[in-house]
Structure 1
Amino acid sequence: MVKPFNFSRLPAISFGPGKLKLLPDMIRQYGRNIVLVTGGSSFVNSSHYQSLIGAFNDAVIIFNHVTISTEPSPEIIDEAVGCLSALAADVVVSIGGGSVVDAGKAISAMLTVKDSVKCYLEGVGTKDHPGTRLPFIAVPTTAGTGSEATKNAVISDVGKVGFKKSLRHDNFVPDMAVIDPELTLSCPENITAASGMDCFTQLTEAFLSDRANEFTDAFALEGLKAVANSLVAVFEDGSNLEARSGMSFAALTSGICLANAGLGVVHGFASSAGGMFRIPHGMLCGTLMAVANEINVRELRRRNDNPTALRKYASLGRLFIDADAKPDDYFIDGFIRFLYEITDRFALPRLSEFGIARDDVGSVCSQTEIKNNPVKLGREELEEILVSRL
């Protein structure tokens, strides 16, 4: 019997090399006065940007430019909204990585209300956002977060008592997503690795989630196949457009999956440790992925109460390991070995490189929430994961 499920809305998706050229016509469906949110330098220094500005001029599109150079904080969002509130924009367009897309998503939502964004953040504020927003178009330039397909925007206030929380509403799914893999060709090696590992982690955790169902599994498996074919290839040759396209597709499916099946222990740490220390999200996910899954498997085997999760781990191994028919345990262990191999191959940094010390482990773990992991992990296992990557 098919497991009952609910599924969130999706944006109208345009996927493929060269799709950026469709953006002006998409914008004109809403009007001519736009808020354009980009990163600080990479995209705006590219030939794609110059071509787009020319197309905007030809289409008589007026843009008010907001640059986001770090993960968005409440102050960044509130300041942007304050500057833009009198402009009567027709649509918000984000062109950039996950932080840029999240910032645009938050700006589009907050331009319709009077409060600080902090009032509406999960676990921080006390108000429910009414779900009103300006039309929003997402154009990712990295292949990682899948924010172009999600209903939340992650907002951070980093510090010892900081947070990394979501502004969330079903209505915040972008109206349109333009996914042009050519925009990712200029990503440097470290960002390619970090964003790729974030995408890989999201797909893996959503596939293993206790909220997963046949529908989300179908998306997750197709995304994971793309990761298996493309992640190492794009790290070794960033100009490989086929591999870039594969990872852009994987990132899109990862956003769809996390929005509908949830995530696991690694993203629990991404929220807690990411709110306390300035660690790039993808780097944090990547460096914890191998050990977190190793401990998941160990505890699943020890408790022997979730055979479905172990079968899923075996199916992951079959995607990433080239071998003839073997027992499930062979592929489970092989998948964990593969995760450790790419941790080393991508030179993913240890947590200590970002200032996390042994004395910080307890406070990080006390702030870590794990909602959909395939096995319940206690404080001892959580500390073991962190300590192993110091």
Structure 2
Amino acid sequence: MSIADFTFARLPEIHFGPGKLSLLPRLIARYGTSVLLVTGSASFARSASYARLTGELARSGIRLLHCSVAGEPSPGFVDATVARHRGAGIGCVAGIGGGSVLDAGKAIAAMLPQEGSVEPFLECVDTRKHDGRKVPYIAVPTSAGTGAEATKNAVLSSIGPDGYKSSLRHDNFVPDVALVDPELALSCPPDVTAACGLDALTQLLEAYVSNKASPMTDALALDGLGHVAAGFLRAYENGGGDLAARGHMAYAALLSGVVLANAGLGVVHGFAGPIGGFFPMPHGVVCGTLLGAATRLNIEALRRDAAGHRVALEKYARAGALLAGEPAAGTDAGCDLLVRTLDRWIAATGIARLSAYGVTRDDFPRLLDRANNKNSPVTLDREEMQAILAARL
């Protein structure tokens, strides 16, 4: 059997392993003598790791500028930060935090050489084309979720009745360096660990069964799913004392970013944009709460034409056996095992339902108007997509 044609996006320079944060000062020094450090609003900036890092930067003669982002970044936050630091001679930007922090840093690095607001460059507006110029960017994840350290887009949010989540995207926005140190996730609380881990799992599974998947993304996605199986529940239950589990999840999240950038995503992420735009629901919670129901509906739709969707069903079955850690007696059994495993994990972690963030049945029409499942292995109709929302209301 011949291998189908495919393309594969470039990767950042990757440094992976416990203790790798110690490399950051010398990586920053490659790009000059000043750095804008983007962090979250609390945890890392108050940690001993932050104190050690800033001390080493000072000893290395690197001028440190700092900004913090609370929650998911907005265009207004990016614009204000860029206006404050444009012209400051920043050699590079380093984002240290969860996916929102990494996206904020990515957008700031992309806008420092530009004039005007970031909003016209967003995909939902698209009135200006970015030329790809940016300040060098180093991404340092402290949670295992979005894989933003390996992608070319930065997701920005404007939350409200007319809100949106949209990407600033360019091939040049892939971080120059991804520094992935699992030790940084040891302090991540269980609820955040669960949401981030289910986000990474969603990305791996959706990319694995995507209609844009390739042999290369399949191999990476399947490997990532194996690491989720090895680390997810362990990281959730004993995340502060199980560095190996944190390593499994950090690697899985990195791979999830690689495969989503090359194979695309499915219906869960098709909902994540509109839900996150209208409601203050964290991205990982959206993915975690919808994953089981969406997978069940996808499998049911695929089974109605099983002969025409044999490959996708076999992939779901393979993922089911891998995540459950037990063999399945055939494709149907493996698919059922996948759905049961996802339901069990979602229940065990107590991921919030949609209604916890204010979503009601009255909101379904506007969510469905904006949702999509463009890279799913099967196209769900509006009634099926509504059933996903209803199952997790």
Structures share fold, TM-score greater than 0.5: yes
2:109 maps to a residue whose letter is: S
Structure 2 partner of 1:266: 268
How far the C-alpha of 1:88 sits from its partner, in A, is 1.4
1:63 maps to a residue whose letter is: L
Structure 2 partner of 1:283: 285
Question: Separation in 2 of the partners of 1:224 and 1:324?
Answer: 15
Structure 2 partner of 1:203: 204
Structure 1 partner of 2:116: 115
Q: Which moved more, 1:320-329 or 1:53-62?
A: 320-329
Question: Separation in 1 of the partners of 2:236 and 2:122?
Answer: 35
Question: Separation in 2 of the partners of 1:220 and 1:324?
Answer: 19
Structure 2 partner of 1:191: 192
Q: Does 1:73 align with 2:79?
A: no
Q: What does the per-residue CA deviation read over 1:329-372, in whole Å, with 9 as the maximum and x for residues that have no partner?
A: 11110110111111110001110010000100111010112220
How far the C-alpha of 1:324 sits from its partner, in A, is 4.3
Structure 1 partner of 2:231: 230
Which 5+ residue runs of structure 2 have no aligned equivalent? Answer: none
**SS at 2:262 equivalent:** helix
2:302 maps to a residue whose letter is: L
Structure 1 324/165 Cα, relative in aligned 2: closer, same or farther at 3 Å? closer
Structure 1 partner of 2:381: 378
Structure 2 partner of 1:45: 46
Structure 1 partner of 2:180: 179
2:43 maps to a residue whose letter is: S
Structure 2 partner of 1:343: 346
Structure 2 partner of 1:309: 312
**SS at 2:37 equivalent:** strand
**SS at 2:347 equivalent:** helix
**SS at 2:371 equivalent:** coil
CA RMSD of aligned residues (A): 0.8
Question: Separation in 2 of the partners of 1:381 and 1:98?
Answer: 30
Structure 1 partner of 2:169: 168
How far the C-alpha of 1:161 sits from its partner, in A, is 1.3
Question: Separation in 2 of the partners of 1:29 and 1:155?
Answer: 28
Structure 2 partner of 1:362: 365
Question: Separation in 2 of the partners of 1:65 and 1:293?
Answer: 41
Question: Separation in 2 of the partners of 1:216 and 1:315?
Answer: 15
Question: Separation in 2 of the partners of 1:181 and 1:266?
Answer: 27
How far the C-alpha of 1:123 sits from its partner, in A, is 2.0
1:150 maps to a residue whose letter is: T
Structure 1 partner of 2:60: 59
Q: Does 1:242 align with 2:244?
A: yes
How far the C-alpha of 1:328 sits from its partner, in A, is 1.4
Structure 1 partner of 2:87: 86
Structure 2 partner of 1:30: 31
Question: Separation in 2 of the partners of 1:366 and 1:152?
Answer: 23
Q: Does 1:388 align with 2:381?
A: no
1:215 maps to a residue whose letter is: M
Structure 2 length normalisation: TM-score? 0.98
Q: Does 1:254 align with 2:256?
A: yes
**SS at 1:44 equivalent:** helix
Tell me if structure 2 keeps the 8 A contact 1:33–1:63. Answer: yes
**SS at 1:233 equivalent:** helix
Q: What does the per-residue CA deviation read over 1:284-308, in whole Å, with 9 as the maximum and x for residues that have no partner?
A: 1000000000000000001332111
**SS at 1:64 equivalent:** strand
Q: What does the per-residue CA deviation read over 1:191-249, in whole Å, with 9 as the maximum and x for residues that have no partner?
A: 00000000000000000100001001111111110000000111110120000000000
Structure 1 245/323 Cα, relative in aligned 2: closer, same or farther at 3 Å? closer
Q: Which moved more, 1:297-306 or 1:245-254?
A: 297-306
How far the C-alpha of 1:125 sits from its partner, in A, is 2.8
Q: What does the per-residue CA deviation read over 1:17-67, in whole Å, with 9 as the maximum and x for residues that have no partner?
A: 000000011111110111110011100111100110111111011111010
Question: Separation in 2 of the partners of 1:272 and 1:243?
Answer: 32
How far the C-alpha of 1:86 sits from its partner, in A, is 2.1
Q: What does the per-residue CA deviation read over 1:228-278, in whole Å, with 9 as the maximum and x for residues that have no partner?
A: 000011111012000000000000000000000000000000011111111
Tell me if structure 1 keeps the 8 A contact 2:110–2:135. Answer: yes
Tell me if structure 1 keeps the 8 A contact 2:229–2:325. Answer: no
Question: Separation in 1 of the partners of 2:292 and 2:238?
Answer: 23
Question: Separation in 1 of the partners of 2:187 and 2:328?
Answer: 40
**SS at 2:44 equivalent:** coil
1:292 maps to a residue whose letter is: A
Question: Separation in 1 of the partners of 2:299 and 2:57?
Answer: 52
1:185 maps to a residue whose letter is: L
Structure 1 44/335 Cα, relative in aligned 2: closer, same or farther at 3 Å? same
Structure 2 partner of 1:146: 147
Question: Separation in 1 of the partners of 2:108 and 2:328?
Answer: 51
Structure 1 partner of 2:104: 103
Question: Separation in 2 of the partners of 1:325 and 1:14?
Answer: 36
Question: Separation in 2 of the partners of 1:324 and 1:29?
Answer: 49
Sequence identity (%) = 49
Q: Which moved more, 1:222-231 or 1:300-309?
A: 300-309
Structure 1 length normalisation: TM-score? 0.99
How far the C-alpha of 1:325 sits from its partner, in A, is 5.6
